[in-house]
Chains A and B, each alone.
Chain A
Amino acid sequence: MRTLLFLLQKEFKQIFRDPGILRVIFMMPAMQLIVLPMAADYEVKNIKLAVVDHNRSTYTQTLINKITASGYFQLDQYTASYKEALHEMESDNADIILEIPLGFEKDFVKEQQAEVLIAVNAINGVKAGLGAAYLQSIITDYNQELRVKFVQLPRVNHTPAINVTYSNWFNPLMNYKFFMVPGILVILLTMVGSFLASLNIVKEKESGTIEQINVTPIKKYHFILGKLIPFWVLGLVILTIGLSIARIAYGIIPAGSLFTIYIFAAVYLLAVLGLGLLLSTYCATQQQAMLISFFMMMIFVLMSGLYTPIDSMPEWAQWITRFNPVSYFIEVMRMVVLKGSSLADISRHILIVLGFAVALNTWAVLSYRKRA
C-alpha cells in the first residue's frame, strides 16, 4: 500500500510538472466543449435557392414569395436560364434550382395541369432529400390554395382525413446542442483517458526508465495501478469540468442524477484506461502508440453514434459498434442527461462496459508480465 502511495505521488508529480500537458489536459476539453457544439448543427435550413422564372406571372410571383416566407430557403439567384443557374450550383452558390416554364400560367388555367422543375445538388443526400421535400410541400400547399379558387369545394368535407399531430419529447425546442454536448464530452474523456495513459507508459519504455522500475521490488500491479489511478482521477475531474461547462455555457442540466453519470463514468474510464494500457504493452515507441490510438480513436468516434445514427448502419457495422465502448457512453450520456434515465435503465450498458474493463485490463496485465 505504501509503495503504491509513493508511486502515485511520483506519477502525479510527473503529470503536474509538465505545464504543456497540463494545459492540454484542462484547456483542450474546455475549449472544445465551448466551440465545437456551435459548429455541430445538422438542421437543414438556409437552403440556397436559384429561381429560373420563364413565366413571370402573378402566379409565379406568389409562389416564390411563399417559398421565401417559409424560412427554409434564401433566394440567392434570379437567373435567366437553367444553364446559368446550373453554373451557380457548380460554384456552390445554389443548392436548389426551381425552374418555371414559359407556359406555366396558361397550362394551369387551360389544361388544368402545369409543371415545374426542381433540380437539387444531391452530393449531400440528406440535405438534398429534405430540401426537395420542403419545396415540394410548399408547392403542394400553393396548389391547394389555387385549386380552392377555381373549384368550389363542398362545405362539408366528405373525404376521410387522417390528421397527424406530433410532439417532441425531451428536447421540445429541438436544440441540437443538447444532443451534441454530452456526446462531445464523452469523446474528450476517452481521448484523455486512453491516449495519455498509453503514451505515458510508452514514454517510460522509450526513455528506458521502465527498466529501472522493473528492477526495483515494486510489484507489477503496483506499477499498473500507479499508472491507472492518476488518469482515472484526471478523467473524473475532466468530467466534472465538462458538466459544469455544459451547464454554464449551454444551460444543460442533466435530467437524470449526476450520481448515475459518475457511476458509469467511473466504470467506463477503467475500460478506456485498460485499452490504453493494452496499447502501451504492444507498442515500442510513442509514435507507434499515437498512431494506433489515433487510428482506433477515429473509428471509435466516427462509429459511436455521435455524428451519424447507429440504427442506420448496415448490420456488420452495427456489430462493430457493439465492441465500441464509446458508443455505450454516448448513449448513456444522452439517456441520462436528456431523458433522465435511471441506473436501472442503463444497467445493461454498465454491465457491458464493466466486461470491457475486466477483459482489457486482464489482457493488458497478462501481456505486460510476459514482457517484463
Chain B
Amino acid sequence: MQELTLGQAVNQALREEMSRDERVFIAGEGVGVSIHSDPRMATYGLLEEFGPRRVKDTPVSEAAIAGLAVGASVMGLLPVVEIMFNPFFTIAADQIVNHAAKLRYLSGGKSKFPLVVRIKTGAGIGAGCQHSHNLEAWVAHSPGLKVVMPGTPADAKGLLKSAIRDENPVIFIEDMILNFVPGPVPEGDYTIPIGVADIKKPGKDVTVVTWSKMLGAAFKAAGQLEQQGISVEIVDLRTLVPLDEATILESVRKTGRLVVLHEATRTGGFGGEIAALVAEKAFDMLKAPIKRVTAPDIPVPFSKPLENFYMPNEVSLMEAIKELF
C-alpha cells in the first residue's frame, strides 16, 4: 500500500475527484502557484494538471472565498475552497455560518449548497495563536454544516471524497502536523461515510474518544497502559457532525469508563458534548466520572516549551486514565 501524508492523501482525493467530475473546482489563497511548494501540501501540482479555470488562486479575501463557494454551489458546481488557517475562519464565518449553513433551510429545502471548506488547523507548527487555534466546536455549533476532522491519511482521502460528493456544506478540518506524518493509504477510489466513527483500537477497560492529531497521543498512551494491564479502546470520531452516538455509547457501555481527548481548549469545547451525551444516555454504565483531557483555556503560545505545554499528550492522557481506576 502507498505511504502518504495527510496532505498527500487530500491531494490524491482532490485529483481523483477533479478528474471524475468536471463540476469540482478548487479555490483559495495559494492553492495554485503556492507559497507552499512542498509536495506534501494538499493542492501541490493541481494547477499544472487542471489549469487556472479549475484551480483558482484567490486574493487574500476569506469572506469572498467562502461566498464564492456558496454562490457557485447553489448553481450546481462542487467547490472545494481552502481557508489557510483555522483562525482565519472567523473572517469567513459569516458566509459559512449565516449563509452556507442556513440558506438551504431558508429556502424551505429548495436549494442545495454542496460545498466543501477545507481548513488547516492545529498547534505544533510554531506559528502562535493567530495561525493555530482549533475552532471545530464553533462550526459544530452551527446547524446546517457537517464537520469532518480526519486523523489518518487513509481516512482523509476517503472522507474528503465523501465530502465532495455530499450535497451539504462540509467543513473539512486538516491538522497541519499530520501533513508531515506518513501512513498507509489505499490506491484508487474509495469513500468513507461521513458520520461514522471508527474504533481504531479495541479495548476492554476504558474508552478514549478523540479525533484528528490527538489520535497519535491516544495510541502512545494505550500502548504504555497496555503493559500496565489497562486495556484502552480508542474511538476516532472522524466526523463531529453528524455525530456517531451509537459507536460512542456502545463502547462506553462495554468499558464503563470514558476519557475525551482533544487539542482544542476546554470551555465550550466539543469534548463537553461527548461527556454530556454519555452522561445522558449511558450514566448507569459508568464505573467512574467522565474525564476531559484538553488544552488549557489560553491562546496557543509561541515558545516551544509553552506550545508543548499547551497541547495535550500521552502523558496527560495516561494520568487522566489512571485516575479512573
Specify whether A and B are partners: no
Which residues of A come within 8 Å of B, CB atoms?
A: none
